[in-house]
Amino acid sequence: MLRKTYDWVMGLAASRHAGLALGAVAFAEGIFFPVPADVLLMPVALANRDKALRYALLTTVCSICGGSVGYAVGRFLQPLGRWLLALTGHADAIDKVRDAAGPWLAALIATPIPYKITAITTGLLGVSFPLFIGVSIVVRGLRYGIEAALIKRYGAPIQAFIEKHMGLVATAIGVMVILLIIALKVFS
């Protein structure tokens, strides 16, 4: 199934609707969509490397707009927010996060948890919206910006590396984020 999805994405990346699809996926990911926007950003950026950073900006803006809707659902439509968390298999996320994060709720936005979960949960927990937006801009912007810059610079070889070592790349990114959170806790 993953291979079929990948092939579909590669075909879409070469189409004239690539930017629209990328924006829609990034937006939807912040609310309910189970596929991360990176899955489409990488092939779209690879298909048009001159526009890679533009695509990263588009992905960042649309992702944060979608995350803002997710935040608003958690903040103002709490029953719907709890239902969406349950639908994604994270019904107990709010209790776990509240107990584990305590004063570190802002770090939640930077964790390698799916963005829709962090967006809805930070809304449910009443994290400041400007803080949510600020951390989202930094974290999402860096994530998509680095991906696009690497693809722009290295092109096809980076795609081959990512395809071959997808699990390793995802694990390395997750470990770096966790180490950053630990460092913030230790040094504050």
pLDDT tier for residue 105 given thresholds of 50, 70 and 90? low
Average pLDDT of span 68-82 = 88
Q: Write down the pLDDT at residue 64.
A: 94
Whole-number Å distance between alpha carbons of 167 and 131: 31
Start-to-end Cα distance in the chain: 44
Whole-number Å distance between alpha carbons of 25 and 3: 18
Reported as a single tens digit per residue, the pLDDT across 19-56 is 898 899 899 988 877 778 887 888 888 888 889 999 99
63, 137 contact by CB (below 8 A): no
Reported as a single tens digit per residue, the pLDDT across 112-125 is 567 888 888 888 88
Residue 137 neighbours by CB under 8 Å, 6+ apart: 60, 64
Whole-number Å distance between alpha carbons of 150 and 7: 21
Amino acid, single-letter form, for residue 43: P
Q: What is the number of structural domains in the chain?
A: 1
Whole-number Å distance between alpha carbons of 20 and 27: 11
Q: Which of 33, 37, 40, 56 is nearest to 7 (CA)?
A: 40
Structure tokens at 25: 């996926």
Above pLDDT 90, what percent of the chain? 20
Supply the mean pLDDT for the chain.
79
Q: Write down the pLDDT at residue 114.
A: 78
Whole-number Å distance between alpha carbons of 58 and 72: 21
Confidence (pTM): 0.73
Reported as a single tens digit per residue, the pLDDT across 140-178 is 899 899 989 988 888 878 767 766 776 676 677 667 767
Give residue 32's domain range: 2-186
Q: Write down the pLDDT at residue 117.
A: 81
Q: Which of 129, 135, 122 is nearest to 181 (CA)?
A: 135
Q: Write down the pLDDT at residue 12.
A: 76
